Amino acid sequence: MPGGDAREAAKTVTGSFGDGEGLPYLAELPARGPGADMIGRTIGLLVDLYAHVEPSGWRISDRPGRDTRRAGSWLGEDLDALEEFTQGYEGPLKVQAVGPWTLAAALERRGGEAALGDPGACRDLAGSLAEGLRAHLAEVRRRVPGAEVILQLDEPSLTGVLRGRIRTASGYRTYRAVDRQVVEGTLREVLAAGGESATLVHCCAPEVPFALLRRAGADGISFDFSLLTEREDDAIGEAVEGGTQLFLGVVPGTDPASGGLSDPGGSVMGVRTLWRRLGLNPGTLAESVVITPSCGLAGASPAYARAALAHCARAARSLADNPE
């Protein structure tokens, strides 16, 4: 979310849906600076692994320092605000963290190269993340006892990891592609930290590995709908028929150049077209699809972020009422 006011963000993400529709979530406010960004927030969750900020990004440290403490402080502030605005709430509540492969691609070892280049470092990072997520989810459940917690892993770098597109520190080379079975197994380990929680993986890059994510145990897959191509039709159809929920990013994540959003029905016209192309039963749309922004809203204006969330709820209602 944009801005730096945790209470205002929590009020928006829990109250944008006056008719009871929508999916409340624990907001992230990266505009506050290092430690509130998506990488820093997740580093603050790690157990027995620490990092600090360098000009090039986050780098592993021997001990917790100011940057790690700041990340924990921001998270505590966000949890306090969420707890305040969810008193008596019962229902789904999403929390998100960076997944193990995007984290490995972003977090530097002491020499400046990414953890991604060291299989041992990747294993340690995944284990630390899984342990940290278990504690984090337990804290969220303690603060919001009526919540049905959903764990989302953000993996924007996943395609790059699988295809060997992540650049080294020099920028002249790329790290070797990671074996798909290793990627799948690591994701399975971290998703399992959700316990009984529903899980999903968000990947806003092209070429989302739908089958791999399903095998890893993701209950849902979130992606930018505008990047979908007909080459992925079979994978989408298999996911829907296998019971995987699709979180479709059809609403722009930043203020449109036109200055406004289209009508709710127009926003999901492409979704109806996809369903017809795949020969799927339109009656399954309401149970198979969640309408979301294409990615995070941190780059949007506060007014647009509020409008986008409300628009998602109206577009989803349009899809449920008029699936064909």
Listed ranges 17-21, 28-32, 258-262; the one with the highest mean pLDDT = 28-32
| Inside any domain, residue 256 | yes
CA 160 – CA 209 distance, rounded (Å): 11
CA 129 – CA 52 distance, rounded (Å): 17
From 40-44, 76-80, 230-234, 320-324, the region with the lowest mean pLDDT: 320-324
Q: Cβ(58)–Cβ(108) under 8 Å? A: yes
Tokens for 108, please give them.
């530097």
| Inside any domain, residue 26 | no
| Inside any domain, residue 61 | no
| Inside any domain, residue 102 | yes
Tally Cβ neighbours within 10 Å of residue 216: 21
- The pLDDT value recorded for residue 262 is 78
Question: What one-letter code names the amino acid at 98?
Answer: V
| Inside any domain, residue 8 | no
Exposed e or buried b for every residue in 102-122, given b needs 16+ CB within 10 A? bbbbbbbeeeeebbbbbeebb
| Inside any domain, residue 119 | yes
Answer yes or no: is pLDDT of 20 > 80: no
Residues 272-310 have pLDDT tens digits of 999 999 999 998 998 999 999 999 999 999 999 999 999
Confidence band (pLDDT; 50, 70, 90) for 21? low
Helix (H) or strand (E) holding 72: helix 66-85
Question: What one-letter code names the amino acid at 291?
Answer: I
Number of domains the chain is built from: 1
CA 174 – CA 73 distance, rounded (Å): 35
CA 95 – CA 102 distance, rounded (Å): 17
- Give whole-number Cα distances, 29 to 50, 103, 244, 281, in Å: 21, 18, 29, 39
HSE-CB of 165 using CA atoms within 13 angstroms: 11
CA 189 – CA 128 distance, rounded (Å): 11
Confidence band (pLDDT; 50, 70, 90) for 25? very high
Tokens for 291, please give them.
């309408």
Residues 245-268 have pLDDT tens digits of 999 999 999 998 876 787 899 899
Residues 82-130 have pLDDT tens digits of 999 999 999 999 999 999 999 999 999 999 999 999 999 999 999 999 9
The CATH number given to whatever domain includes residue 114 is: 3.20.20.210
- The pLDDT value recorded for residue 261 is 85
State the average pLDDT for the chain.
94
Confidence band (pLDDT; 50, 70, 90) for 18? very low
| Inside any domain, residue 185 | yes
Compute the average pLDDT of residues 179-207: 97
Confidence band (pLDDT; 50, 70, 90) for 54? very high
The larger pLDDT score, comparing residue 20 to residue 229, is at: 229
| Inside any domain, residue 288 | yes
- Give whole-number Cα distances, 235 to 78, 214, 229, 238, in Å: 37, 10, 11, 5
HSE-CB of 244 using CA atoms within 13 angstroms: 24
CA 42 – CA 68 distance, rounded (Å): 10
- The pLDDT value recorded for residue 324 is 77
- The pLDDT value recorded for residue 145 is 96
SS3 state of residue 96: strand
- The pLDDT value recorded for residue 55 is 94
Q: State the residue range of the domain holding 237.
A: 81-321
User: Beta-strand (E) ranges in the chain?
Assistant: 50-54, 57-61, 91-98, 147-154, 198-203, 220-224, 245-251, 289-293
Compute the average pLDDT of residues 117-145: 97
